[in-house]
Amino acid sequence: GENVEQHPSTLSVQEGDSAVIKCTYSDSASNYFPWYKQELGKRPQLIIDIRSNVGEKKDQRIAVTLNKTAKHFSLHITETQPEDSAVYFCAASWTGGSYIPTFGRGTSLIVHP
């Protein structure tokens, strides 16, 4: 089955800095890679996703890049703000069949004012 490794487990940055979270996956059949943000005590919510036919996708201050050859994808947050503080989860899945995404263990991002 799919295995997703996520690093780092904790990331501390100053407000205005950039933050990068990296994930690797094992199954070359995976073709969909969502990122979720989970604020303390809240539910995970999708912030951005990328499909295997695209190398990069941006949405304002966040971007995701995908390297299919190396089987890794990354979340980039620029100009971080205190409200970006949360746990971020990556996931990998194949969108055919039953769609069972495999999640990374999460990265706790702390943005210091």
Contact positions vs other proteins (CB under 8 A): 6, 9, 32, 34, 42-46, 49, 89, 93, 95, 98-101, 103-106
Task: Give the end-to-end CA distance of the chain in Å, rounded to a whole number.
Answer: 41
Considering beta carbons, is residue 52 or 65 the nearer one to other proteins?
A: 52
The Cα angle at residue 50 between residues 48 and 53, in degrees rounded to 5: 165
Give the nearest distance from C-beta 15 to other proteins in angstroms: 26
Q: Which is nearer to other proteins, 80 or 93 (CB)?
A: 93
Phi, psi at 83, each rounded to 5°? -70, -5
The distance of closest approach from Cβ of residue 65 to other proteins in the complex, given in angstroms and rounded to an integer, is 19
Report the residue number, 72 or 103, with the smaller CB distance to other proteins: 103
In angstroms, the CA 35 to CA 64 distance is: 9
Between 52 and 78, whose beta carbon lies closer to other proteins? 52
CA dist 19 and 36 (Å) reads 15
